[in-house]
Amino acid sequence: MAYSARGILSGQFMTSKNSASALAGAIAGASLALLFCGLGTSARADSIPYPNPGTLNPATYTFTAAFTGDVTAYFAGSSASFENTLGLRINGVSTGIFGLNNHTSAVGDSLNLGFANAGDVLTFVMHNISPGIGDLYSDPALNGPYDGRTLGTQHIYSARYTATSPTFGSIPVGVFVGFEDLPFRDSNFNYDDLTFVFTNVVAAETPLPAALPLFASGLGALGLLGWRRRRRTQATPALDVRRNDRSGVCTARPACTLMRVELP
């Protein structure tokens, strides 16, 4: 059967066209899948509230000003029977501004806590009005007096707030901080007694090192091994070795059954 050159070229053109269409469809489908994956990632829920209620938060946080300007707090809710207000220290110095009383504030209420320069260290302060325990801080090293003990306890939990899930009214994106207002001896560690979102704040978290529990268990095992060795050593009679200068013969016996050998 004879084929014309025109027919052959036409068939090759149609094949190439179909292949190009299939490739374009595959690329479009992959792009759409990537778009949906991206949307799913951006809509992922924030880690709010504290995920381990009843357990002390082992992480510590360092808060700094993101840029030169005002630090603003937004009230995000409260479950506390204690009455408290919020304040701020900048580089260890109080701004003297306290507000957002948890018994009178509504979600979304805001407070300008003061002006900070980019990189300034921020320490959030919860002032307990009733029953009048005192002040606690986002820096656990300062919480000893509030807890009535030498070492302070972590009284906050912090996470990124992206205004996706959950949402707190019209509060803008920022850094979420939840306070635990009960002293250490009475604490339930739920970190939702007072909650706020802060703008112009950068949070750096220092979690408990993952290897620390393993390291501690290793130290415990070494201690047990040392104790067993000492006990075994104490249970074994000591050997008393003596040399007879005349014969050069050594005698070795347990101390409790030592017999002296004399040569003529």
Mean pLDDT of 14-34: 44
pLDDT exceeds cutoff 80 at 23:
no
Query: pLDDT (tens digit, 9 = 90+) per residue, 209-263?
Result: 544 444 444 444 555 555 466 556 555 454 444 444 444 554 545 444 444 444 4
Mean pLDDT of 165-170: 95
pLDDT exceeds cutoff 80 at 45:
yes
Do residues 226 and 100 both lie within one domain?
A: no
Q: How far apart are CA 220 and CA 229, in angstroms?
A: 14
Partners of 47 in beta bridges: none
Do residues 248 and 134 both lie within one domain?
A: no
Report pLDDT for 150: 84
244 in any annotated domain: yes
241 in any annotated domain: yes
Collapsing DSSP to helix, strand or coil, 177 comes out as strand
153 in any annotated domain: yes
Choice between 34 and 103, residue whose per-residue pLDDT is larger: 103
196 in any annotated domain: yes
50 in any annotated domain: no
pLDDT exceeds cutoff 90 at 17:
no
Do residues 71 and 161 both lie within one domain?
A: yes
Q: Are 193 and 156 in contact (CB under 8 A)?
A: no
Q: Are 150 and 156 in contact (CB under 8 A)?
A: no
Query: pLDDT (tens digit, 9 = 90+) per residue, 68-77?
Result: 999 999 999 9
Q: Are 76 and 168 in contact (CB under 8 A)?
A: yes
4 in any annotated domain: no
Do residues 142 and 104 both lie within one domain?
A: yes
Given pLDDT bands bounded at 50, 70 and 90, which one contains residue 208?
A: low
Range of 147's domain?
A: 60-206
Do residues 197 and 217 both lie within one domain?
A: no
Which residues, at least 6 apart from 177, have a Cβ–Cβ distance to it below 8 Å? 124, 138, 156, 157, 158, 195, 196, 197, 198
Do residues 68 and 190 both lie within one domain?
A: yes
The CATH code of the domain that includes 112 is 2.60.120
Report pLDDT for 30: 44
263 in any annotated domain: no
Domain tally for the chain? 3
Do residues 99 and 142 both lie within one domain?
A: yes
Do residues 18 and 101 both lie within one domain?
A: no
Mean pLDDT of 172-192: 96
Do residues 86 and 192 both lie within one domain?
A: yes
Report pLDDT for 232: 61
Do residues 225 and 201 both lie within one domain?
A: no
pLDDT exceeds cutoff 70 at 107:
yes
Do residues 201 and 248 both lie within one domain?
A: no
- Cα angle, residue 19 at apex, residues 17 and 24 outer, rounded to 5°: 95
pLDDT exceeds cutoff 50 at 12:
no
2 in any annotated domain: no
Report pLDDT for 2: 46
Do residues 145 and 220 both lie within one domain?
A: no
Mean pLDDT of 116-145: 97
Among 188, 206, 224, the domain boundary falls at: 206
Question: Mean pLDDT, the chain, as a whole number?
Answer: 77
Report pLDDT for 226: 57
